[in-house]
Chain A
Amino acid sequence: MSVAADLTELGLREAGEQIAGGALSPVELVEATLRRIEEVDPQLGSYIHVSGEQALAAARAAEASIAAGYHLGPLHGTTIALKDLVGVRGEVSSAGSKVLQDFVPAEDATIAARLRAAGAIFVGRLNMHEFAYGVTTNNPHYGAARNPWDTGRTPGGSSGGSGAAVAARLCCGAIGTDTGCSIRLPAAFNGIAGIRPTIGRVSNHGITPLAWTLDTAGPMCRTVEDCALMLAAIAGFDAKDRQTANVPVPTYRDDLERGLEGVRIALIEDFTLTDLQAGVASAVEAAIHELEAGGAQVREVPMTDLEPSISALLTVDIAEPAAYHAAWLRERPQDYGDDVRALLEVGELYLATHYIQAQRYRTLLRDQFDDVLRDVDAILTPTVPFTAPPVGATDVTLESGETLDIVAAVMRYNALPPLVGLPALSVPCGFSDDGLPVGMQLIGRAFDEGTLFRIGHGYQRETAWHLMAPSL
């Protein structure tokens, strides 16, 4: 193993602790990270832009600051990469598009500012599906991102660069955004953890929107514990984003230490474990047994009315982007990739009643989730019913033999949390026979990300899936 790979093996907490204790220099960490990106990323295409000079300057400043006694917390001096739609002052923030290829924000997005204030060092901007509008990160302008476990496979999307970069040890942690699936799907396909926070928990100010009533930003890291550390740094009310709620943000340290004993987890009857690829089914079933062995109480609950969820999610996720992109679609349609342009054009032709009915369905579904979550602490599903398909795949054949468009296929479990606005954590829980990662999804109560961290971290204390690294 090279020296670069050695240091980049450190996760966010480990790196932060070593930096705080003086055992690791932020400059050495950044240098190792930049070397590894140079060595490995040509195979993956996870970065659109690497900010080498700025990162080294920030690392030197962090080192001096810590030496002078100013330690800013667990992220100080660690390497973080941002999905290309998170605005950073003075840096091109293209949202993976040609339309915004020259867009340079005048100020940081709120979450970028908060990470900066926590001492994080930005190493670059991560590849993504154009405008976050797709599930593969097969980007026509910046190239396809690839899965580090099998570079012939997709890392998922839209935060595919974030998923691939974290799994490949090209940063300690990354920011993704999730409208319909875009943190949890790439987390599952790349064998890392990712949390979609409650809508209103994290500010969207300065982030290029996709669908306003669904969009969230959140951490993608190797471990659940690292996600908790990063969420604590970025979450909270923001006067610049009217959708954020004024709810206190815990440090999550207590939650992480509570363990699995007594935690109540629901499986959805005739849904959680049906129609899964064999490798996904066996991994998720084993994870359920592991949770029970650790003291969790797992039981099945009936839920109804889930059938329209994918259609409702797609309706909202087609109508709202069409509204946001209306002017650009008319002025410069040729600057969009084919798939995104077609979806935007279709979105122009929906009826208002379709959108309203989908929004009404969300209310109905949320009531049902609230009822279930009064009696349990989390609802467990797979994150995706199958493992990562080949790069370029547009359809997926499910275990039942049904062939679906890949967007609809990945939404089976992913669609539920965005529709109801609740937090959801994807945790790696095994591998298929062909060596591809599998993730399980834990859905929790509003603003109770801490309980999801408790369960996810409790599971990771008993298992080693999160320690597995792809060979690159």
Chain B
Amino acid sequence: MADAERTVDEAMVEQLARLAELELAPERRPAIAEQLDGLLREANAVNRFMDARRDVGPGVRYHHPDVRDDES
């Protein structure tokens, strides 16, 4: 993908890493920017998809409703 089409650039990666208190050597930033750009594009698509379903919360029901986890 051409740099101009990118949402995430090296400067942004540097800033985000600083916010996360993560030392990220300058030579690692281009590859991280490219990978993050692709992954966040996908993650943003999930965000937009879920915009239509504000009724759904984040609690994943792993079990049957009639199963209680703490019986012992």
Q: A239-B72, A342-B31, A349-B17 are in contact. Are A363 and B46 (CB under 8 A)?
A: no
B35 CB, min distance to chain A CBs, angstroms: 5
Contact B70–A246 (Cβ < 8 Å): yes
Q: Which of A88-96, A258-266, A354-362 interfaces with chain B?
A: A354-362
Number of A-B contacts (CB under 8 A): 124
Q: Per-residue 0/1 for B58-69: is the Cβ within 8 Å of any A Cβ (1 yes, 0 no)?
A: 111111100111
Contact A246–B67 (Cβ < 8 Å): yes
Residues of chain A lying within 8 A (CB to CB) of residue B39: 314-315, 318, 346
Nearest B residue (CB) for A238: B72
Contact B20–A348 (Cβ < 8 Å): yes
Q: A358-B43, A358-B46, A361-B49 are in contact. Are A198 and B62 (CB under 8 A)?
A: yes
Q: Tell me the residues in window 249-306 of chain A with beta carbons closer than 8 Å to chain B beta carbons.
A: 305
Contact A364–B60 (Cβ < 8 Å): no
B64 CB, min distance to chain A CBs, angstroms: 5
Q: Per-residue 0/1 for A350-377: is the Cβ within 8 Å of any B Cβ (1 yes, 0 no)?
A: 1001101111111110100000000000
Bin the interface of chain B by size.
35 or more
Contact B28–A364 (Cβ < 8 Å): no
Residues of chain B lying within 8 A (CB to CB) of residue A354: 40, 43-44, 46-47
Nearest B residue (CB) for A309: B46
For residue A332, CB closer than 8 A to chain B, the reply is no
Q: Which of B22, B53, B57, B72 contacts A246 (CB 8 A)?
A: B72
Q: Per-residue 0/1 for A331-353: is the Cβ within 8 Å of any B Cβ (1 yes, 0 no)?
A: 00000000000110110111001
Instruction: Report Cα–Cα, A307/B42, bound state, in Å.
Output: 11
Contact A357–B50 (Cβ < 8 Å): yes
Residues of chain A lying within 8 A (CB to CB) of residue B53: 360, 364
Contact B47–A363 (Cβ < 8 Å): no
For residue A114, CB closer than 8 A to chain B, the reply is no
B68 CB, min distance to chain A CBs, angstroms: 7
For residue A461, CB closer than 8 A to chain B, the reply is no
Q: Per-residue 0/1 for B1-38: is the Cβ within 8 Å of any A Cβ (1 yes, 0 no)?
A: 00000000000010011001111100010011001100
Binding site for A on B (CB under 8 A): 13, 16-17, 20-24, 28, 31-32, 35-36, 39-40, 42-47, 49-50, 53, 56-64, 67-72
Binding site for B on A (CB under 8 A): 198-200, 213, 237, 239, 242-247, 305, 307-308, 310-312, 314-315, 318, 329-330, 342-343, 345-346, 348-350, 353-354, 356-364, 366, 421, 446-447
